[in-house]
Structure 1
């Protein structure tokens, strides 16, 4: 688990070799920074921090550096990027790697060096001897999308880092408004922490006041009003989006995607799929599935199919110029009031 690894790093319970892989760039970068802070003093970074691109540099050159004593410090830290030899991908690396040399090093790593393999790949080739050996000898962290529970743990940890705490309802609202992108969440949490000040709480009011809403999140709120049959409030949000010069065709596309997601979640739920299975099948975050499942309960299947047909018809009329674009969405919303 990511949090267990981070705790060990903060306690300076360090391994001589790390393997960080996966496509969640934020988590990999955050782990990289934690390792740098834990291992090197600011004055050591210039002399004892090395970075190698294994697409251009043979592994044996990086290992020679690892086996060289640190200069004016106790530890060396080496980041080894793009270890394609751990994957099944066919690459055009400019170099050949002496992997036997790496196997020998892993049996007895230099006690004064810490090597970190940075592998930004969704999967490693588990059939390869080198992958098996590295997974056996290294501290391994897979940087994949966090579950809702882990995402909330991470948010609590980020707030704690800033010296503030989170009201659970505020956390839920932040996820609705800002989404699940960790870069975006970090920016919003840091901003709110600065606003409330150390020792204080980020509450719902703070989130409502400070969190910027993207077009998608404004549309999510609009759809939520539609689901609750609060059509006047939905229209108010729609008019606000028009005042912000958002294109009706873009607004329609995002509404359609959200309604389609609600329908898909409802259908897959009927077939016995769990939320995580649905998220994997639709390639969306489980939190979005959870929210869509709540909305799906307020619609019948026929209502959703009818609404999707209306939205498709509106899209056709917009693109052919058959009717005023702004009016088309307004008419769909007014029909839902009947």
Structure 2
């Protein structure tokens, strides 16, 4: 089964889409947020527990534009920049925190123009920078600082760009500043992200089953999940892993069937167990559409593994999911190319029927699962 690499990565979440509305019109080399003369990145290109390369490589201060839909990682990056550049001994004189929707243009301009006092850097953190976009004078102040930063200035701009915004201000700012777009981690990728975050930030091993159960119980909001993992790591003690039992002992009520374990049942061709778990998942609030999306990702990753093995899969997976490569390759050994191609075609048909048919989604999903077992039996004749 030939699997076009780029198409698979886009469809399955193996690779974040490069670029954004801010980067339209740039050459391909700048589609990930890189601007001419400046370094940019999307945070899906690096280890999630660390600053993006664009920020770690910046040594000379200047203006940082942190945008995108992931509020947690934006805040973490802003805090890390603040910690790197601010002198604790002179913080009262050299650190200003503003809110773009509340500050005046005059105050912003005055603070940006004020040099550091008895320190190397003056750090200005502006949250809700989108609040400045409506004022021509405010836009001019910010862009002037980005294009030619005053000596000693570190200006950190956090923004949530309005959906479908075509405002030239954001594009110009992304080109002039050190810009990083924080795209939300796809929900089905959150457990893998959490495992890697715990290892990089806490030095703690979180087993993938524990991360899946935790995300199934507490949701996929990263700030809440990192807090829960920190508590569990403290509970188990130094050197111990956070496993499924630790999550239970932590008083977290786990779902009877979590979606990621269910995807693994399908990947391992344990179809009877998957069929039995389907009503449980749906009763817990899962949607058939959500399961179709997750299954598409699972099967397409298996397709990459069939075609290229561990190296190909590791190259396609985001950094925070590469540790799953051998697990997925093991599932790939249970499928033939023709079986997988039939399963993907059947899933596409299921998706079309969900949109156009009055047949209940649960019935359609059960039919698809049954088809996997029928095709396996027919293939053995």
* TM-score normalised according to structure 1 size: 0.59
Cα distance change, pair 212–74 in 1 and its aligned pair in 2 (3 A): farther
Q: Specify whether residues 62 and 274 from structure 1 end up closer, same or farther in structure 2 by C-alpha distance, changes over 3 A only.
A: farther
CA distance in 2, matches of 1:330, 1:100: 56
What residue number does 1:228 align with? 268
2:152 aligned with 1:115, yes or no?
A: no
Task: Tell whether 2:69 aligns with 1:26.
Answer: no
In the TM superposition, what are the counterparts of 1:123-134 in structure 2 within 5 Å? 134=177
1:204 corresponds, among 225, 236, 243, to 243
Rate the CA distance shift 1:15–1:54 in 2: closer, same or farther, 3 A: farther
Contact 1:81 1:118 in 2 (8 A): yes
Aligned to 1:87: none
Structure 1: 5+ residue stretches without partners: 85-90
* Correspondence 1:298 to 2:334: yes
Gaps of 5+ in 2: 1-45, 375-381
SS at match of 2:125: strand
1:53 is matched with which residue? 100
Task: Please tell me whether residue 17 in structure 1 is matched to residue 88 in structure 2.
Answer: no
Distance 1:151 1:124 in 2: 34
Q: Which has the larger radius of gyration?
A: 1
**Structure 2 length normalisation: TM-score?**
0.54
Q: Contact 1:26–1:182 at 8 Å: present in 2 too? A: yes
Alpha-carbon offset, residue 264 of structure 1: 4.2
**For 1:104 and 1:314, how far apart are their aligned partners in 2?**
52
CA distance in 2, matches of 1:75, 1:107: 10
Higher relative contact order (CA 8 A, sep 6+): 2
Alignment-derived partner of residue 319 in structure 1? 358
Counterparts in 2 of 1:312 and 1:54: CA distance versus 1, 3 Å: closer
Answer whether contact 1:314 1:329 (CA < 8 A) is retained: no
Q: SS in structure 2 opposite 1:258?
A: helix
The corresponding residue for 1:218 is 258
Other-structure match for 2:110: 64
List per-residue Cα deviations over 1:221-255 (Å, max 9, x = no partner).
2232233333443344335446xx346xx543333
Relative distance call for 1:133 and 1:235 in structure 2 (3 A) is: closer
Q: How many residues align?
A: 301
Q: 2:205 aligns with which of 166, 170, 177?
A: 166
| SS across alignment from 2:258 | helix
Considering only aligned residues, what root-mean-square deviation do their CA atoms show, in Å? Answer: 5.7
Number of the residue aligned with 1:94:
135
Tell me if the contact between 1:261 and 1:292 (Cα under 8 Å) persists in the aligned partners: no
Contact 2:301–2:328 under 8 Å retained in 1 = yes
Cα shift at 1:200: 4.2
Deviation at 1:93, TM superposition (A): 1.4
Q: Does 1:156 align with 2:195?
A: no
Q: Could you tell me how far 1:308 is from its partner in structure 2? A: 2.5
Paired position in structure 1 for 2:25: none
Determine whether 1:253 maps to 2:304.
no
Query: Which whole-Å deviations, capped at 9, do the CAs of 1:32-80 have from their partners, x for residues lacking one?
Result: 234556637699679953314189743x642412455889x99864213
| Structure 1 residues 259 and 296: CA distance shift in structure 2, 3 A | farther
Mapped to 2, the partners of 1:241 and 1:267 lie a distance apart of: 25
Alpha carbons of structure 1 residues 158 and 234: separation in structure 2 relative to 1, 3 Å: same
